């Protein structure tokens, strides 16, 4: 059974990896994801130029009845140099994703310039969709700002680059973001980041469940699956074939992975459920995915990728 994936010239022996932000802030966490025999890769916590403590706690909350999660982490990370040191010195056969999320365009350009000039030979993910930094909008909801930063980036950046996108909810917005992205030599897009600025209430105390921003935070897990599928599907229908898609959002079972691949995902990331089960989740999900394929007599993911049926 072939459960491998490909982005640009990078081959992944397994299609699952962590979603940025989950299990990837410290070298110990990164090592743990990489060491899993069933992870195809690891993506580092989105970096800012300097170390950031992030928002006050509680800032992550698991919703009841396996609905998912709400977070307002606020980009806590060990700083760009920490992750660059990690990826430059880590011995691994797996291709690695380096995520950057500057709070300004100049911060992003400076980090990407350092990556360009470094010996890093993996993939870079530019996070244009963090919903949780007070006062900072999600860049990729501003189509002109997205075009402007990508124009400046591709004036010097030659390594494989992708962007992490927020979910879109309007067909016209799918058209508009795809029109921007198709003008650049992107290796991939990653969709979706959390659904920004949801709100959850604890019924016992009539109180919000996380502290930052009065309780508003990004939603992940099962409750975002339909939005993730729609975004993968809509972008696969609109993006140049050379732009691969990482599907992220709502994965708790092998069937969820299968559905994202049907919509066109080349790799699949796991966030909330990785928080719940830790790295053994990769083996469970891959086993369930293999069973789904086997039931239908498929031997490879390539046979179902993008093959979602519609009703005539």
Active site residue ranges: 129-130
231-234, long-range: CB < 8 A, 24+ apart: 231/165, 231/167, 231/168, 231/174, 231/191, 231/192, 232/191, 232/260, 232/263, 232/264, 232/265, 233/263, 233/264, 233/308, 234/168, 234/171, 234/174
Q: Mark the segment that binds ligand RRO (CB under 6 A) among 112-120, 126-134, 202-210, 292-300.
A: 126-134
DSSP state of 2: B
Q: Which is nearer to ligand RRO, 188 or 258 (CB)?
A: 188
The phi, psi pair for 157, rounded to 5°, reads: -85, 130
CB 289, min distance to ligand RRO, A: 24
Per DSSP, 56 falls in state P
Tell which one of 101, 124, 251, 301 touches ligand RRO (CB under 6 A).
101
The interface region with ligand RRO, picked from 2-10, 66-74, 88-96, 280-288 by CB under 6 A, is 66-74
Nearer to ligand RRO, 21 or 40 (CB): 21
Q: Under rule CB under 6 A, which residues in 230-289 are in contact with ligand RRO?
A: none
The residue written with tokens 């310039």 in the block is 113
Stretch 45-64: interaction string toward ligand RRO, x if CB under 6 A: -x------------------
Are 261 and 301 within 8 A, CB to CB?
yes
Q: Is residue 194 part of the contact set for ligand RRO (CB under 6 A)?
A: yes
Residue from 17, 128, 130, 243 in contact with ligand RRO (CB under 6 A): 130
**Residue among 74 and 254 whose Cβ is closer to ligand RRO:** 74
Residue choice 73, 128, 262, 285 for contact with ligand RRO (CB under 6 A):
73
Compute the Cα dihedral for 272, 273, 276, 280 and give only its sign.
negative
DSSP-assigned beta bridge partners for residue 217: 198
Task: Provide the binding-site residues for ligand RRO, judged by CB under 6 A.
Answer: 21, 46, 71-75, 101, 127, 129-132, 193-194, 218
């Amino acid at each position: 059974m072939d459960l491998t994936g490909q982005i640009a010239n990078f081959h992944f022996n397994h299609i699952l990896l962590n979603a940025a932000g989950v299990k990837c802030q410290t070298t110990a966490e990164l090592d743990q994801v990489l060491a899993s025999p069933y992870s195809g890769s690891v993506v580092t916590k989105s970096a800012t130029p300097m170390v950031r403590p992030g928002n006050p706690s509680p800032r992550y909350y698991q919703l009841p009845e396996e609905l998912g999660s709400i977070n307002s982490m606020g980009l806590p990370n060990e700083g760009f140099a920490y992750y660059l040191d990690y990826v430059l010195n880590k011995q691994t056969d797996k291709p690695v994703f380096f995520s950057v999320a500057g709070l300004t365009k100049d911060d992003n350009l400076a980090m990407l310039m350092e990556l360009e000039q470094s010996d890093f030979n993996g993939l870079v993910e530019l996070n244009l969709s963090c919903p949780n930094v007070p006062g900072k909008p999600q860049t990729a909801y501003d189509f002109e700002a997205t075009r402007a930063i990508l124009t400046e980036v591709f004036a010097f950046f030659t390594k494989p680059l992708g962007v992490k996108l927020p979910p879109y909810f309007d067909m016209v917005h799918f058209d508009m973001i795809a029109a921007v992205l198709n003008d650049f030599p992107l290796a991939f897009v990653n969709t979706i980041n959390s659904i920004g600025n949801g709100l959850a209430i604890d019924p016992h105390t009539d109180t919000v469940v996380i502290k930052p921003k009065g309780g508003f935070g990004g939603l992940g897990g099962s409750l975002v699956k339909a939005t993730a599928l729609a975004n993968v599907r809509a972008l696969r229908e609109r993006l140049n074939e050379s732009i691969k898609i990482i599907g992220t959002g709502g994965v708790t079972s092998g069937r969820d992975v299968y559905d994202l691949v049907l919509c066109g995902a080349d790799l699949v990331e796991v966030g909330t459920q990785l928080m719940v089960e830790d790295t053994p989740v990769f083996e469970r999900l891959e086993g369930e995915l293999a069973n789904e394929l086997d039931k239908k007599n498929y031997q490879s993911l390539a046979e179902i990728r993008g093959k979602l049926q519609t009703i005539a």
